[in-house]
Structure 1
Amino acid sequence: MSKSSFAAVIEQHLPNLAAYRDLYKHFHHNPEISTLETETSARIASELRILNEKHSSPIEIKTNIGGTGLIGIHRNGDGPIVLLRADIDGLPVEEKTGLDYASTKRMMDTHLDQIEKPTMHACGHDFHITALLAAIETLLNAKNSWSGTLIYLFQPAEERGAGARMMLDDGLYTKHGCPIPDVCLGQHVWPHKAGNVFSRSGAMMSAADSYEITIFGRGGHGSMPHLAIDPVVIASHIVVRLQTLVSREVPPDETAVVTVGSLKAGDTVNVIAEEAKLQVNIRSVSEQWRRVLLDGLTRVVRAECDAGRATAPPRIVRLNQYPLTYNDEAVTRRVEHQFTRFFGDRHKLDMQPVLGSEDFPLLGSEVGRPYFFWFFGGHDPRDYDERVRLGTVNDIPMNHNPYFAPCIDPTLRTGVEAMVIAALSFVGKDRAGQQPKL
């Protein structure tokens, strides 16, 4: 399809976004934390049913996949099978944006620690949901402009790196009858200039591996350390030594981060604890150096425990694991070509890899299919330009921040346009009614 054809699809078939702005505010005001997105999932299913009734649509809706996950299968003639994904969970963060639709919700985290927590859409998944729903209506309106099968997938629990795996393990492509896609597509809002779209081939988002490490010592009186084995000292050496994995074992031109986010031991000042616990997060953008870091973690922990005379081998437990998001080159170039033709200089190519992580790749890699993942900006364009002028861009609240508040316009429209264009890159017809081959 030419640029004019893409523009025509958007111009003729994009629905009035006023209702979707209100829907976005609803989702933002009513977030639900990972694995507990019951009301969110029900509202999405309701919106899909409304679209079916409005358009006499054949979208087949399947719910309760891997918990609160759901899909809509939209068959529209012969052609490629393309999966479009949006994640739906919020975060245990107390919102401080001051928006009139800000979340004041609290939830009992019954799937993790039984603690009531403030809840916020602090990562923009409310935009992802709303943009995909509006894209679905656009594609329904434009059904004569494309041919194939589109899978609209709404995934829970991305923030715990579990939702894609939960849906797959529950038989997404078997028991629930989801066709195996030829390609998977997904997007993410982030605190850059709204109206812009960002992409790259290859490593797009880092792999992330998180562990809890328990160090075993011998408790005792703080005045007699020679009769105890202090796990805090051992843990402290581990914290320092782990930093050398990046500075001394990974090449300077590679990107990697090792963070000890938690170190806990003891309850009072004059007692040497029995054990210490560390929580470690490792991020990398290549499988080669990911393996170096993970092997190094185990080596360092065991060696420091031996050096400190720990009373038992350390216990190393994986908390979560996110795959490396590595955009397929052919798929990326295909969508990027269409993004550039539509967005012009608002499409930013070859962005730097993002050290956040996603479980989206599993939806494709699990069945040997390629995928493409991109970003779209969410910060007010005028304020962003002024911050560039003042050198304060880094002060913009980022994802997971309690002040994270993307502007609705033009963020929502850009997210809808990008998802529609990406889908049409594979299922869209040219002016002669022909489809390019995958």
Structure 2
Amino acid sequence: MTAFPIDDVRAQFPALAAKGAEGAPIYLDGPGGTQICAPALAAMVRHLEAGTANSGGAFRTSVETDAMSEAAHAAMADLLGGSPDEIAFGPNMTTLTFAVSRAVSRDWREGDELVVTRLDHDANVTPWLMVAQDRGMTVRWIDLDPETGLLRIDALPEILGPRTRLVAVGGASNAIGTLNDVEAIVRIVRAHCDALVFVDAVQSVPHVVTDVRALGCDLLVCSPYKFFGPHQGVLWGRDELLERIQAYKVRPASIHPSARRFETGTPSFEGQAAVLGTIDYLETLGARFAPDDATRRERLRAAMLGCHAYEDALGERLLAGLGTIDGLKLWGPPTVRGRVPTFGVTIAGHDPHALSEALAAHDIFAWAGNFYAVEAIARLGLAESGGLLRLGLCHYNTVDEVDRVVDVLTRIVRSASAR
């Protein structure tokens, strides 16, 4: 198997070259937003420097902008396993989810039902709670097992019914890393009702192969700034479903035969250009693992498989190190199996925010709190104690960084205990 080219990968991220008081900073904040790769930056600048324009004009800059936008939609389709007409860009996942929630719920009525989970980021909960409030609908919950960090999907058949209109689930938890079995959830839904399945894949797309056809869902959203690109949101929707959804748009743009009916107003074309650069980066990485005659989709798949294997190795090393720290508790799956490399921990007697600040003093960047996963943190019983310290790995982290994190965190805990 081809060794993972970590040195070449890191060379593609300008932010990793920065120097702090103790050397290069360690970025463990990826679940909140990764660093952007150089090809994305170059593509954004190139688009702006060459002359940008709005869409639909006969002049050069508009024609070139339209061509770039088409290419960006096609590139995202290859990453997710869909088709270009099924892709829409937006400012972020949350905005797209609110827009979709309003559009798909036009015909829902009092007494209809929605299903959400106790594990999701609130961006995949509150939009649906607000729909339920507006329509007089009943909200049902897929519970979270605090001991395992897994959704209780065994109870899902009892939650579903003839008036269930939509089930909203996450691909992976942004707080504790649990990787949900979306395919199994979709199968259960299809067997028991005629509801739509909406997937928040913001945390899963950066770490695992995404194939919307295999998942079987109806709608999926993700965020390029969580997978080495710019601040954008992306919506994928099944084409036959999109044909019958009326999006909220101004009248001249209200009729569109594709997902782009959800692109309200003038989009960030420079953001789309940067997304195209991000996919180029991932494709180039995947070419190291794929056959010479592989398609772009196959190279992207190879890239994600390579990243996943490398991140698993880093995660195993981190978990081994964390296991030596007195009082540390890992929340969620106990190994790298069934999770993405996002590790939510608590340490007895230590406030998570204080730990985050102490790590920051050593140029180790990690978040603490609830990360908008308010239902999950509450279900874990951590809402009153400051939530979690979150350590998030991705494919540009290194073994040396993992060892340094464990060493620094160990010293922080021992120093505090000695006072």
Question: Same fold by TM (over 0.5)?
Answer: no
* Higher-helix-fraction structure: 2
Query: TM-score band, normalised by the shorter chain?
Result: under 0.3
**Length-normalised TM-score, structure 1:** 0.25
**Length-normalised TM-score, structure 2:** 0.26
* Higher-strand-fraction structure: 1
